[in-house]
Structure 1
């Protein structure tokens, strides 16, 4: 697995332009906008997406087929992708979170520590959910087909949420109260809950990814 990490970090070194775009966008957002919770989430998701680029490079010109002729198992490959996504996302999340807190203070914008912690926790949940969906899709369908599958999945998700809200309203269920209850949770409880949720999502996603990759032929 060490060799896989070295390969992926080597691929990231060749994406200096992507990193430059992230830095520029972060600076622009921090100086032009006041919604720091959105900024933290957006930049974190962009950093997390880098994991998918390494899979695309592996699949280029049947590179993945060659990779599995080496002493690398499919289980190791899938596990490395999830560990790599965490290793690359967490430092980026930490950097943009600290930067946002410093900039909000320097600009005199109200951004309490509680809101900041909640924004960081929610951002990590979002990137976990997105990667847990995208990694299995890309391993099953490949880079091109996974985009189409993702669009269909997002469409189904949006429709499901919309219908769920309508059903709650028709049934007299106040779904906004549940959201407000989550928002009022203490940071420590929110962090513990999000950690458990992220862990469960990652495990399910990992098992799906492993199954998809074991069934693929190269």
Structure 2
């Protein structure tokens, strides 16, 4: 599987650098305006978009057919995408949590519960988005699954934009965020549930891809 991961790494450097730039912009904006959950969650969505983009390029270049001649099983091919997604989401969760920790320390209002909430939010959104989108791509292919994938992106974005607006309308945004972001139990539970769904999604994708004709 090391070769598959290395292939995806090179493809990310070649085709997905723009997503890294967008994630950097939104992540920086989330440090300035903590009341806007969309700014905080969208970089996690981009992690899932990365994997969908990689699969789209694989399908366009006929990589999947070529890979059938290589000493890799279909299970390994699917699992490599989930490992990439895991690395991206986990890395982004740690990076943004560290950034918010540093920003809080500089401002003199460091809040470990908020930082934990940031970590869990990125973790939950990133894993949940990948868990929903990847099985659809492995079931229907990147072209047929594109409509459903776009629908998921729209639902995520609209949901977080709406929630972000509600948060910014409050004088003390902690009153709204407190129920979720400032409650480690809820945020931790959301992260755990997303992780479980991610594993279930991986098993589902393996089954879809094993039965798919290329």
TM-score, normalised to structure 2's length? 0.75
> 1:67 is matched with which residue?
67
Q: What is the Cα deviation at residue 196 of structure 1?
A: 3.7
Q: Which has the larger radius of gyration?
A: 1
> 1:210 is matched with which residue?
206
Q: What is the Cα deviation at residue 190 of structure 1?
A: 4.6
Alpha-carbon distance in 2 for matches of 1:23, 1:182: 24
- Return closer, same or farther for 1:154/1:106 CA change in 2, 3 Å cut-off: closer
Q: Superposition RMSD on alpha carbons, in Å?
A: 3.0
CA contact (8 A) 1:41 1:120 kept: no
Deviations 1:166-188 (A, max 9, x none): xxxxxxxxxxxxx9876675x3x
Whether 1:20 aligns to 2:16 is no
Deviations 1:7-30 (A, max 9, x none): 011111113333233323333443
Alpha-carbon distance in 2 for matches of 1:153, 1:91: 23
CA contact (8 A) 2:123 2:191 kept: no
Deviations 1:144-183 (A, max 9, x none): 22121235668999xxxxxxxxxxxxxxxxxxxxx98766
Count residues in correspondence: 193
- Return closer, same or farther for 1:202/1:29 CA change in 2, 3 Å cut-off: closer
CA contact (8 A) 2:27 2:39 kept: yes
CA contact (8 A) 1:140 1:212 kept: yes
CA contact (8 A) 2:136 2:148 kept: yes
CA contact (8 A) 1:139 1:212 kept: yes
> 2:170 is matched with which residue?
none
CA contact (8 A) 2:51 2:81 kept: yes
> 1:201 is matched with which residue?
197
Q: What is the Cα deviation at residue 46 of structure 1?
A: 1.6
Alignment of structure 1 residues 1-218 onto 2, 5 Å: 1-14=1-14, 15-31=16-32, 33-35=33-35, 37-106=37-106, 112-150=111-149, 185=183, 187=184, 189-190=185-186, 193-218=189-214
CA contact (8 A) 2:56 2:142 kept: yes
Deviations 1:108-167 (A, max 9, x none): 6x673212212321321121111001001111122222121235668999xxxxxxxxxx
Deviations 1:40-70 (A, max 9, x none): 3222222342122221121113221111221
Alpha-carbon distance in 1 for matches of 2:86, 2:49: 11
Alpha-carbon distance in 1 for matches of 2:96, 2:37: 11
Alpha-carbon distance in 2 for matches of 1:73, 1:89: 25
CA contact (8 A) 1:40 1:120 kept: no
Q: Which 4+ residue blocks in structure 1 deviate beyond 4 angstroms?
A: 151-157, 179-185, 189-192
Which ranges in structure 2 are unaligned for 5 or more consecutive residues? 157-176
